[in-house]
Structure 1
Amino acid sequence: MLAGSVLAALCFLPTGCLRPRAADEVPSIEFTKIPATGTGGPKLIGEIAGRVKGARPGQRLVLYAYSGVWWVQPFSAQPITQIQADSTWKSPTHMGTEYAALLVDKDFIPASKLNRLPGRGGQVSAVAMVKGHESTTVAPAPIQFGGYAWDVRRLPSDRGGVANPYSAENAWTDAQGMLHLRISKSQDGWACAEVNLQRSLGYGSYVFVVKEVTKLEPATVLGFFTWDDQGAEENNREIDIEISRWGDASSKNTQFAIQPYYVPVNVVRFATPGGRVTYSFRWEPGRVSFKAVRGVGEQHGVNVISQHVFTSGVPSPGSEAVHLNLYVYGKTRMPQQNGTEVVIEKFEYLP
């Protein structure tokens, strides 16, 4: 009865009914799913999975991906991966050249980044590393839109606070040359859409004409923004026009922003009305001028919906490129209910 009682108690621990470890068994970690090799960056996400042998009840995993240094995965605010009752584990991870898993005690406090991984000993019972594999996936052909070539995203992204899948089938142009972006239901959640220019344009005017956005659900986000994967020192050179209520049905549905967004003066929110709207920003040294107008273009200022000029914290050009995306915001009490589609009629750049 005593042995049965102990086993039953183990089954109620957070890690599930793990097999008790023999006294001489050395814990180990194996990988059953290995992501491709990637250059890192906050937007590129894959999936990693495996199995643990010889774990004690209460132990967890800490995952790292190597890109210059070892970065904890999947997020610094979510550094723990739980071991399931059948001893398996899986997690999204940002991409790297190598991946590592540490079997640790429940009181272990992970570092957000490391120059060198810890060895086995103390609160670390096992360490396993593996190189990323070379991807054999054929990239979708670029989309031609507005006179430019755009790459189509096909890997998950954590923009919006969750690891949304992205589908190349959710971005296309029609016979009139208009760009369609779609959110569709998939077995992994809401499959989103994103395209990005193949080259940087730098200072100048960026214009986006959209058919209709007022019918988007509160958790839907339509974004027009610049992004530099290598430009973290200037908040990735991100300049944003974002159309979303961020999960709050009573909120205004559009914002102009420069990063970091949590600085109050870096964000201006307003309500976009129904119908066709032209959004634009003029990027100059130390200055970004945003504007939204009804219809296509502006006649003597009468069609202006909102305009604002930022002169503080404005990034300088680097390797940024324009991105257009449609995705689901994950940090909301009003989750996405249905798929949706938007039509971007025009993109224009003027030096």
Structure 2
Amino acid sequence: MCELRWSVRLQVCLACVLLAAALVLAGCRNHPSPLEPSVTIAHVPRAGYGGPENVESISGTATITAPGQQIVLYARNGNWWVQPFRSRPFTKIEADATWNNVTHIGHEYAALLVAPGYRPTPTLSSLPSVGGGVLAVVTVKGTEASAVASKVIRFSGYDWTVRAAPDDRGGAMNQYDPDNVSVDKNGYLHLRMMERNSVWTSAEVHLTRSLGYGTYRFVVQDSAHLEPSAVVGMFTSGGRSERDVRSELDIELSHWNKPGKINADYTVQPYYLPENTFHFSVPSGTFTHVLRWEPGEASFKTFYGASGGAGARELTHHVFTSDIPVPAAETAHIDFYDFFHSRGGLTHPSEVVIEKFEYLP
């Protein structure tokens, strides 16, 4: 009898142990272990040497563990360079865990998942390890896909490369479509902004060679009719300097999304220095805008009509003597884009016509 009671008690104890173990396992299933932070690169740009015009799309996914975490991108050409620009080092992670941006071309690419408050270093000899605000790191080699041939047009006796890559000119990323550029039977250059697949696209061309010091003339048909957010830029540019500002001399026609009388300016970058920008108003009609670039001086003039030569009636002029760049493989650009399009910019297609470009040493 005693042996029977002991057997029953043993079976009951064993059942209790099994029940407890089952409850523990069930509890584990109801409270899964926290996710580990991670980042991937899904779309890898091609491998190659970088340059101010040489950018491609890059995208991926991320597993975040707290609000405010972001992606920091780097491309390697010798050193690692933060992307897409030193002034814009962070890439947002969307609600569906994806991220996307553009990067200058390199031989290798890296994505860092970082904590809020992390301050990326613009240039690195080697990437940081996990820790100190870096939550995850992934690197990939650039693909070996061949480069897409650039579209080149002939305008005013010069060859111009048509931009196809995005750019953050004006403080917001603008997409560029080569189909927005054409030259008509009169030899006039047409630049358009169009909406394609719910995305507004801009237009830009730049010379295939550098001209350096000299006189640059641009004949522009009526720009006063353009929407307040539209910008026509005619400038010399050699990319960004070590201070992360564009090395440029600019003639810009725009209201900058602030309707009023002022719709044009001459600028020596960086624009945020008050003495580096001269504002003025251009009425309706065709005007010739002239830049004379010399060592230590940039002289700007705007004339009525399509001449700008002797006897032409002057609208305004201004001379800058500070922050004048020196020639460094810069090229002349003509750009037509939407200023901060995400803030209620264009509502319908827009076009500007450049009748002529002329350079005199």
TM range (shorter): 0.7 to 0.9
- Whether 1:290 and 2:290 are equivalent positions in the alignment is no
The amino acid that maps onto 2:351 is: E
Q: Which residue of 2 aligns with 1:14?
A: none
- Whether 1:81 and 2:53 are equivalent positions in the alignment is no
Q: Secondary structure at the match of 2:175?
A: coil
Q: Cα distance, 1:305 vs. partner?
A: 0.7
CA distance, structure 1, for counterparts of residue 50 and residue 85 of structure 2: 13
Q: Which residue of 1 aligns with 2:323?
A: 313
2:346 pairs with 328, 336, 351, which one?
336
More deviation, 197-206/234-243: 234-243
Q: Which residue of 1 aligns with 2:65?
A: 56
Q: Cα distance, 1:303 vs. partner?
A: 1.7
1:220 pairs with 208, 224, 230, which one?
230
1:97 pairs with 96, 107, 112, which one?
107
Q: Secondary structure at the match of 2:171?
A: coil
Q: Which residue of 2 aligns with 1:245?
A: 255
CA distance, structure 2, for counterparts of residue 155 and residue 289 of structure 1: 31
Q: Cα distance, 1:300 vs. partner?
A: 6.3
Pick closer, same or farther for the CA change 1:315–1:105 going to 2, 3 Å.
Answer: closer
The amino acid that maps onto 2:333 is: H
Pick closer, same or farther for the CA change 1:318–1:271 going to 2, 3 Å.
Answer: same
Q: Which residue of 1 aligns with 2:336?
A: 326
Pick closer, same or farther for the CA change 1:315–1:74 going to 2, 3 Å.
Answer: closer
Correspondence 1:109-258 to 2 at 5 A:
109-121=119-131, 123-136=133-146, 138-187=148-197, 189-229=199-239, 232=242, 236-250=246-260, 252-258=262-268
Q: Cα distance, 1:187 vs. partner?
A: 2.7
Q: TM-score, normalised by structure 1?
A: 0.84
Q: Which residue of 2 aligns with 1:30?
A: 40
Q: Cα distance, 1:38 vs. partner?
A: 5.0
Q: Which residue of 1 aligns with 2:313?
A: 303
Greater helix fraction, Structure 1 or Structure 2: 2
Q: Secondary structure at the match of 1:336?
A: coil
Pick closer, same or farther for the CA change 1:80–1:224 going to 2, 3 Å.
Answer: closer
The amino acid that maps onto 1:240 is: D
1:29-73 CA-to-partner distances (Å, cap 9, x unmatched) read: 3221112335445555432211235x4243443322234433333
Kept in 1: contact 2:75–2:107 (CA 8 A): yes
CA distance, structure 1, for counterparts of residue 298 and residue 348 of structure 2: 35
Pick closer, same or farther for the CA change 1:34–1:57 going to 2, 3 Å.
Answer: same
Pick closer, same or farther for the CA change 1:147–1:42 going to 2, 3 Å.
Answer: closer
The amino acid that maps onto 1:209 is: V
Q: Which residue of 2 aligns with 1:347?
A: 357
More deviation, 84-93/280-289: 84-93
CA distance, structure 2, for counterparts of residue 230 and residue 63 of structure 1: 18
| Residues matched between the structures, number | 331
Q: Cα distance, 1:138 vs. partner?
A: 3.1
Q: Cα distance, 1:113 vs. partner?
A: 3.4
CA distance, structure 2, for counterparts of residue 164 and residue 227 of structure 1: 18
CA distance, structure 2, for counterparts of residue 108 and residue 313 of structure 1: 32
- RMSD across aligned positions (CA): 2.8
Q: TM-score, normalised by structure 2?
A: 0.82
CA distance, structure 2, for counterparts of residue 91 and residue 104 of structure 1: 16
Pick closer, same or farther for the CA change 1:124–1:145 going to 2, 3 Å.
Answer: same
Q: Which residue of 2 aligns with 1:13?
A: none
The amino acid that maps onto 1:129 is: T
Q: Which residue of 2 aligns with 1:266?
A: 276
Kept in 2: contact 1:193–1:327 (CA 8 A): yes
Q: Cα distance, 1:292 vs. partner?
A: 0.5
Pick closer, same or farther for the CA change 1:74–1:320 going to 2, 3 Å.
Answer: closer
Please list every run of 5 or more consecutive structure 2 residues that lacks an aligned counterpart in the other structure.
Answer: 1-30
The percentage of aligned residue pairs carrying the same residue is: 44
Q: Cα distance, 1:328 vs. partner?
A: 0.8
CA distance, structure 2, for counterparts of residue 289 and residue 122 of structure 1: 49
CA distance, structure 1, for counterparts of residue 78 and residue 270 of structure 2: 24
The amino acid that maps onto 1:56 is: T
